Amino acid sequence: MEKISIKQIIRTNAVYGGKVNLNNSLTYAVDRANNERNFYRKLAYLIRSMTSDHSFSDGNKRTAITIILSEFKVKNIKVNKIMLEKTIRDLSKTGEGNINIIERRLRRCSKK
């Protein structure tokens, strides 16, 4: 995964009509993701920012799914889209903040 920028995430979210709510959370997530070697953990930091902290006023789940699908495509990782959508909805609903749990749930969405 190449370095991801806050501007890139904000542009992705703008398609869904959202505005940044918590810039500090998003900044922290992007910084952690860009310093992480583990692909799934990188994504987990970004996902937590959107599903637990709700970094945007709207489109958090859709933005998270779009980013995941894009990164999986770059890595040529197949994904169970139905499971991914359910996972993101569940993470958002529960507000799960544990990176290890988010990472594990994300791994389960990929197809070997």
User: Over the stretch 15-61, which tens digit does the pLDDT of each residue have?
Assistant: 999 988 867 889 999 999 999 999 999 999 999 999 999 999 999 99
In this predicted structure, the answer to whether residue 1 has a pLDDT above a threshold of 60 is: no
Q: Identify which of 57, 55, 67 has the alpha carbon closest to the alpha carbon of residue 106.
A: 67
**pTM for this structure?**
0.92
Facing residues of 111 across strands?
A: 78
CATH number of the domain at 6-111, please?
A: 1.20.120.1870
Alpha carbon distance, N-terminus to C-terminus of the chain: 18
- pLDDT score of 2: 75
- The dihedral built from the CA positions of residue 3, 86, 21 and 63, taken in this order, carries a sign that is positive
- Give me the residue spans of the domains in the chain: 6-111
